[in-house]
């Protein structure tokens, strides 16, 4: 079985499991405890925080460990927006995002509207899922408290011009949050290069366990916590820290960053060959997402006249595991909100199939393209 759903999750790297084991067994103490076992855990947590900060180009104190990308997105959007509005003593706060974001972003924005009375603007994207820097600039208001944009889209792989967005937002002194969950390990995460104020990451996209994540947030940005209690993470995220998870996350992030440039170059060549073969062999295939500004590991298509779920079942019979889009929306009967926002008709959006390639891939996917051809043909003409 060939697993091509790496945007949904990835296996734990061996070096990550090895690094975590001492903090699951011998040094299992609570990092807040003032004894030898607790202090060993605290030291490991501090080291993991510093290692993550080095990859991001932030200070160690700017790193907040979370339970994953969803929590990091919620903390960034709600925490920054609420803190800013409180400082202004103003319920007219305004947030900006796009309609193609992950559900954890869109529902956080919706929460701020419903519960806190904020207003929101979702800046439209073009047919390739790119957002215009000018359109974002035009959406900004005096009361805008945060702009949140996905660095790379989780369904079609389109990459935004984060640095250009940051430059526009910085002129207005508004915090920019990047959802970097899918970008990590494929694109630079450098705060200096990209200019963000906050970035969300998830460990299980990088080879760390599920339930691990990070919000990198510059210390100058006020952040209202979502979780209250013990005051951990400098009061920004209460709860006993998952020391082993933090160590695992730091190890996975360092490994992915060390491989990033070589892996992105290698996999993008194999991706382009796969895309070309599918488009050549399957007349109904249409590539979704930006043909140039796209993650190295993402190839996504629609196959008009079929059912995406039916194609997936046929592919699995051929030994290929892929998906129809975001794992968080799996099982929904609704067409992808990402594809619809790109201007794709709902009935066509329901034919989507996403292939997300592993960083270790070294051989062409010609056989997978052949399986796609056979699967689409079988679904299009069941009697064949």
- Please identify every residue annotated as catalytic: 328
Q: Output the DSSP codes for 110-166.
A: HHHHHHH--EEEE--B-TTSPBPHHHHHHH--TTEEEEEEESB-TTT-BB--HHHHH
State which H helix or E strand residue 63 sits in.
strand 63-66
- Distance from C-alpha of 294 to C-alpha of 292, rounded to nearest angstrom: 6
The 8-class DSSP code of residue 61 comes to G
- Distance from C-alpha of 256 to C-alpha of 194, rounded to nearest angstrom: 18
- Tokens representing 235 are 């009061």
- Tokens representing 180 are 């970097």
Classify residue 164 as exposed, middle or buried by CB count within 10 Å of its CB (0-12, 13-18, 19+).
middle
DSSP-based three-state secondary structure for 176: strand
DSSP-based three-state secondary structure for 66: strand
Q: Are 95 and 77 in contact (CB under 8 A)?
A: yes
- Distance from C-alpha of 175 to C-alpha of 100, rounded to nearest angstrom: 20
Compute the CA torsion angle 343, 120, 8, 339 (nearest 10 deg): 0
């Amino acid at each position: 079985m060939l697993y091509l759903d790496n945007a949904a999750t990835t296996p734990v790297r061996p070096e990550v499991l090895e690094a975590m084991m001492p903090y699951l067994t011998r040094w299992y103490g609570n990092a807040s405890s003032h004894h030898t076992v607790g202090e060993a855990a605290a030291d490991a947590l501090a080291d993991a925080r510093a290692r993550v900060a080095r990859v991001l180009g932030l200070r160690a104190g700017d790193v907040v460990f979370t339970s994953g990308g969803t929590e990091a997105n919620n903390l960034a959007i709600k925490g920054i927006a609420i803190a800013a509005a409180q400082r202004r003593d103003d319920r007219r706060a305004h947030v900006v995002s796009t309609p193609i974001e992950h559900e954890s972003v869109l529902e956080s924005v919706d929460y701020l509207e419903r519960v806190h009375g904020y207003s929101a603007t979702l800046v439209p994207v073009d047919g390739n899922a790119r957002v215009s820097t000018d359109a974002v600039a035009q959406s900004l208001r005096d009361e805008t408290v945060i702009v949140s944009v996905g660095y790379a889209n989780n369904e079609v792989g389109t990459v935004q011009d984060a640095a250009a967005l940051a430059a526009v937002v910085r002129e207005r002194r508004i915090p920019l949050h990047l959802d970097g969950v899918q970008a990590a390990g494929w694109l630079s995460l450098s705060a200096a290069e990209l200019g963000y104020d906050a970035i969300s990451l998830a460990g299980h996209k990088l080879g760390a366990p599920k339930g691990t994540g990070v919000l990198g947030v510059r210390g100058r940005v006020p952040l209202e916590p979502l979780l209250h209690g013990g005051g951990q993470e400098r009061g920004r995220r209460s709860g006993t820290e998952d020391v082993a998870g933090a160590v695992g996350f730091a190890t996975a992030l360092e490994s992915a960053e060390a491989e990033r440039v070589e892996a992105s170059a290698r996999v993008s060549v194999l991706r382009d060959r796969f895309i070309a073969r599918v488009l050549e062999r399957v007349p109904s295939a249409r590539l979704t997402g930006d043909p140039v500004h796209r993650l190295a590991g993402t190839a996504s298509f629609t196959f008009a006249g079929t059912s995406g779920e039916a194609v997936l079942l046929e592919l699995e019979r051929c030994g290929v595991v892929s998906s129809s889009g975001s794992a968080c929306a799996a099982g929904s009967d609704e067409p992808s909100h990402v594809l619809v926002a790109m201007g794709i008709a709902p009935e066509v959006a329901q034919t989507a199939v996403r292939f997300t390639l592993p960083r270790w891939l070294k051989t062409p996917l010609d056989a997978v393209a052949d399986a796609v051809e056979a699967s689409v043909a079988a679904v299009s003409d069941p009697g064949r």
